[in-house]
Amino acid sequence: FEQILRNSLTTLPMGGGKGGSDFDPKGKSDNEVMRFCQSFMTELQRHVGADTDVPAGDI
C-alpha cells in the first residue's frame, strides 16, 4: 500500500506492485539454475520495458 501512495504523489500513471521468486539454488545443478533464470527472464520481459513499467528506487 505504501508504494502505491508514494507513486500517486509523482502523478505518474503507475501502481505499486513488486515481484520475485522463491527459487532456492542450493542443491541445484548449474544447468537447473540456468534453466530457471532463463525461464524467469522470458516471462518477466513481457512485463518490463520502457513503456511498460517504472523501476522503483527502493529495490
Q: Which residues are catalytic?
A: 18
Helices within 1-59 (DSSP H only): 2-9, 30-44
Q: How far apart are CA 40 and CA 25, in angstroms?
A: 14
Count CA atoms within 13 Å of residue 48 on its CB side: 11
